[in-house]
């Protein structure tokens, strides 16, 4: 009993130490960054660039289908980000029950980083900005549109979905019970061991 209580107290101490808190937050950040990297690759892979045509060194949608595809990049970003952030928060929440405040901090920071990482990975693998290329192209040349996100609100999907799912995990699922550690547990040995010790001395 004394050994188990002492081990639990030592473990709890490590988990609540500044180093333990920083390590957990860093681990969550790394997980979110890796998931966002994969999400960015998927975003670029499933997106189809719109066909744009150069006129007087500017680009315009070649047809209605191209005009519609200009906005699909943002829509796909929101969809993939919602799925990726929800699954990530669910797994992290299930694996870190009992450390809600620290995990919430890590998830909030990690999801914010993930929003930018996903965008940068997707854009870096997509076509170059046609508005830049059009400056040196003749009229009538067709260029693929660039992958991008319109507005700021799509980036909020990562933290909003993450925090929502994390809250559901923390409040909907029962907290894992931990043995209570008291001073009596730490200071008092096993009565059976004391009795055996007394008989051996006698």
pLDDT at position 3 is: 47
Reading the block at residue 42, the tokens are 């998927």
User: What digits encode the pLDDT tens for the residues 127-146?
Assistant: 887 877 777 777 777 888 88
pTM of the complete model:
0.75
54 in Cβ contact with 66 (< 8 Å): no
pLDDT < 50 stretches in the chain: 1-14, 178-189, 191-197, 200
Kindly list the distances between the CA atom of residue 83 and the CA atoms of 31, 38, 76, 110, 124, in Å, as whole numbers in the listed order.
15, 12, 11, 15, 22
Q: Count the helices and strands in the chain (H runs, E runs).
A: 9, 3
User: What digits encode the pLDDT tens for the residues 30-49?
Assistant: 999 999 999 999 999 999 88
The secondary structure element, H or E, covering residue 132 is: helix 130-133
pLDDT at position 162 is: 97
Phi, psi of 149 (to 5 degrees): -115, 130
Reading the block at residue 158, the tokens are 């990562």
91 in Cβ contact with 169 (< 8 Å): no
Reading the block at residue 117, the tokens are 């990482």
């Amino acid at each position: 009993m004394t050994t188990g209580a002492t081990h639990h107290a030592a473990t709890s101490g490590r988990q609540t130490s500044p180093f333990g808190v920083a390590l957990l937050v860093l681990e969550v950040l790394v997980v979110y960054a890796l998931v966002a990297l994969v999400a960015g690759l998927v975003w670029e892979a499933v997106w189809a660039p719109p066909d744009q045509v150069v006129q007087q060194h500017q680009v315009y949608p070649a047809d209605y289908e191209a005009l519609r595809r200009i906005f699909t990049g943002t829509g796909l970003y929101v969809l993939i980000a919602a799925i990726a952030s929800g699954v990530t928060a669910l797994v992290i929440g299930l694996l870190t029950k009992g450390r809600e405040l620290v995990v919430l901090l890590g998830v909030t920071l990690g999801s914010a980083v993930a929003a930018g990482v996903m965008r940068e990975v997707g854009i870096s693998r997509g076509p170059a900005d046609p508005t830049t290329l059009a400056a040196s192209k003749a009229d009538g040349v067709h260029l693929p549109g660039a992958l991008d996100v319109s507005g700021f609100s799509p980036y909020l999907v990562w933290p909003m979905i993450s925090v929502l799912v994390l809250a559901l995990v923390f409040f909907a699922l029962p907290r894992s019970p931990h043995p209570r550690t008291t001073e009596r547990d730490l200071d008092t040995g096993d009565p059976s061991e004391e009795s055996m010790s007394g008989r051996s001395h006698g």
